[in-house]
Amino acid sequence: MTDFLQAIVNGFSQGSIYALLALGYVMIYKATHVISFAQPALMVVGGLFAYHFTSELGMPFWIGMLLAIVCGAVVGMLVERIALRPMLGKPVFTLAIITIGVDIVLRIISNRYIGVQSRIVEYPGGNERFSIGDVSISHQRLGLIAVTTVTVAALALFFRYSRTGLAMRATALDQETALAQGIRVGAVFALAWAIAGGLAAIAGTFVAAGNAGIEQTSWIIALKALPAIIIGGLDSVQGAVVGGLAVGIVEALTATFQPDVAPWLGANFSLVAPYALMFVVLLVRPYGLFGTKEVERV
Amino acid sequence: MTSTRLRGRPLVRTSYAQDMSLLNTPAKRRSTILIIIVSFLVPFIVTDDLLLVLTLGMISAVGAIGLNLVTGYAGQVSLGHAFFIGLGAYTGAVLGGDTDASVTGYGLPIYIWLPAAGVVAALAGLLVGPIAVRLRGLYLAIVTLGLVFLGDHIFRESRSLTGGPGVGRRGPDLVIFGIDLEESGVVLGLDLAREQRQFFMALVFLIIFAVLGRNIARSGVGRAFSAIRDRDVAAAVIGVDLTKYKVMAFAMSSFFAGVTGALYYAVVGVFEPSAFGLLLSVQYLAMVLIGGVATISGAIMGALFISSLGRISGEIAHVLPFISESSSGSGLLSVFQLEAILYGVLIVVFLIFEPRGLFGIWTRVRNYWKGWPFSY
């Protein structure tokens, strides 16, 4: 039972990272109908900014993270402006492939910075753990869950109550109509990418603050947010959060129990468990748990 | 109606069959024959290391044609090609390879392991097909991406078949009609080195599969694929069975991929599970996009180009001082990083400026000379 609860707690915190990244994918998908494969690179870049500000320039963790969010947002906007804006109106598949190209380029540059050592951001409070009974969680993970909760709540309020949020929702619904209402659709695209870049930077910061830090292979983490958005539904904000947490928890549960229960699945099966979960969900619900079913007009 | 050809009027068609025929103009007939003759002469002109690059390029072209069938003709974006290539590679290696300390191999001849590699991959394609029927566009892309990760895991864990990560295993033995392609010696009165023999083998297979691919594309099946790509609802309305043709597209494409996998790693020698990751899928997608979507010759051009990219970036490294030639050099970029950046940049550049790829450039050059001296 303790194992089970511990796995749930671990999964919940890891799932928060997936949820942040998944929100970024959904932001971009809702605004532009493109799946951005550049998200892994944005996460790594964000984490490296945080590392640079805190470890190299000696700033406190939270200020470093805020600056990293700003820088991540700027990088996101630049990617949109340089690589995607000229391609407006092209098939979404083309745009998605372009983001793969962007991802490769950005990751090579950041790999150059990372080198062979892993870059670890110092979290204030170090390795202290908070525990109830036998279940414990590190302060860094608690911080992650808190930051995720605040971010998701802030985003929800932003979309619900602000004029800009309304403009973004309108654009997601119908670009041409939004344009006719005087909404600057281009600005909405840029903002969506900026939000996605910022969210990726938060995720990157906490990946860097984890035990392993940011390495050349850390970008794989961000790809696990893809099953999360598919499970939740590509165009659903709450779906992204639920999907992210589900992926994190399933991953942690498999990591805890699969070696004993089903050893024939091989070592490290937990790393691919999210994809297996995705296949199962898709066979039952092709548009995810919360996604809108596409209506076919002839 | 009898179909006749008019002398001096190559573009006049008097029957549908003429229009749909494989080489429908004299110019195409002549140039194809010329290209084939020249390709058979290449091994006697080019140095051995370059021959190996071309050999691998031609084998990759088979897989690129396969991906083009499903992505280019049928419009189903697949990021899972690496998985099917891996399946083919391991089927080939297990059936055609030798047993040693760590891995099993049955040492069967090529006319068993090569078709088997294709068939096993095609069966996997048949399993994926039904998912493609339920999903469209980017959903499908992500699901096939998941396939690559699951495949990667399976390849890593089945150590008795694949050797496991970091160890790997040897590919199948390349012996055709009693001729060992991994040794040098006299064949049919010609003294051929290992690279030359393998080049001929790859060339023959490429011609076979290119004709096969072209025939699929120009037959009713190919037209059904295009109908699905252009508008699947409309295709269903005019009587194209979506389920059947989408499943067929995946199965055929996977067959090509399986053959490529088995042959490629037979030539390469030792390979390990990490070869079949996302990057391989992206490479094949790049071959199709840079070569030319929904064209067979484009896929071949793209495959040759992408395969020689490593060589090209090596040459660039000689010229540019800030690129180091080893992976841990002190320069701004290493050769491998330059190669990966070139993939990214080339895909973006081609999609923006020449969406029809290398084939599109060729069409433009051809049309210029067709209209010459009145080309404007």
* Single-letter code of the amino acid located at B291: G
In the predicted model, is pLDDT for residue B150 greater than 80? yes
| Contact present, B313 and B331 (Cβ < 8 Å) | no
* Cβ neighbours of residue B200 closer than 8 Å, sequence gap 6 or more: B40, B43, B192
Amino acid symbol at A18: Y
Q: Are A13 and A217 in contact (CB under 8 A)?
A: no
Asked if the model's pLDDT at residue B9 lies above 50, the reply is yes
For the residues A81-99, what does the mean pLDDT come to?
Answer: 81
What pLDDT, on a 0 to 100 scale, did the predictor assign at position B1? Answer: 45
- Each domain of chain A, given as residue ranges in start order, spans 2-284
- Does an H or E element contain A54, and which? none
pLDDT at residue number A41: 92
What was the ipTM of the complex prediction? 0.82
Question: How many other β-carbons are positioned within 10 Å of the β-carbon of residue B292?
Answer: 28
Side chain identity at residue A160, one-letter code: R
- Which architecture does CATH list for A2-284? Orthogonal Bundle (1.10)
Least confident piece of the model among A50-59, A96-105, A164-173, B5-14: B5-14
Nearest residue of A to residue B354 by CA position? Answer: A94
CA dihedral of B193, B195, B201, B206, whole degrees rounded to 10: -150
- Residues B294, B69: Cα–Cα separation, whole Å: 7
Residue B335 has what pLDDT? 73
Helix (H, G, I), strand (E, B) or coil at A137: strand
pLDDT at A124 over 70: yes
Measured between alpha carbons, how far is B137 from A91 in angstroms, rounded to an integer? 10
Instruction: Write the DSSP string, A68-115.
Output: HHHHHHHHHHHHIIIIIGGGTTS-HHHHHHHHHHHHHHHHHHHHHHHT
Report the residue from B153, B347, B352 with minimal CB separation from A272.
Answer: B153
Separation between Cα atoms, residue A205 and residue A69, nearest integer Å: 9
Q: Which residue of B has its CA nearest to A276?
A: B150
Which chain B residue has the Cα nearest residue A226?
Answer: B142
End-to-end CA distance of chain B: 39
DSSP secondary structure code for residue B71 in this structure: I
Examine the pLDDT at B204 and tell me if it is beyond 80. yes
Q: How confident is the model at residue B257 (pLDDT cuts 50, 70, 90)?
A: very high
Name the residue with higher pLDDT: B72 or B137.
Answer: B72
Maximum mean pLDDT: which of A264-273, B63-72, B282-291, B329-338: B63-72
pLDDT tens-place string over residues A200-243: 999 999 988 877 788 888 888 888 888 898 888 888 888 899 99
Structure confidence at residue B322 (pLDDT)? 67
What does the CA dihedral A35, A40, A44, A45 come to, rounded to 10 degrees? -30
CA A219 to chain centroid: 11
- Chain-chain contact of A269 with B153 (C-beta, under 8 angstroms): yes
Say what the pTM is.
Answer: 0.87
Greatest mean pLDDT among A183-187, B189-193, B368-372: A183-187
Q: Does B133 touch chain A (CB under 8 A)?
A: no
Phi, psi angles (nearest 5°) of residue A215? -120, 180
B99, pLDDT greater than 80: no
Instruction: Give the amino acid at A122.
Output: E
Contact predicate B64/B133, CB 8 Å: no
CA–CA separation, B198 and B184 (whole Å)? 10
Q: Which of A280, A282, A294, A298 to mutate to test the interface with B (most CBs of B within 10 A)?
A: A282
pLDDT for A250 beyond 60 = yes
**A62, amino acid identity:** W
Q: Look at residue B375 and give its three-state secondary structure.
A: coil
CB contact under 8 A, B134 and A286: yes
Report chain B's C-alpha Rg in angstroms: 22
Q: Is the pLDDT of residue B185 over 90?
A: no
Count of CB atoms within 10 A of residue B255's CB? 26
pLDDT tens digits, A19-75:
999 999 998 988 888 888 899 999 999 999 999 998 888 888 889 899 999 999 999
Beta-sheet pairing, B323-324 with B333-334: parallel
Selected for mutation to probe chain A from B67, B142, B159, B341 (highest A CB count within 10 Å) is B142
User: Please, are residues B108 and B96 in contact by the beta-carbon 8 Å criterion?
Assistant: yes
Count other Cβ atoms within 10 Å, centred on residue A74: 15
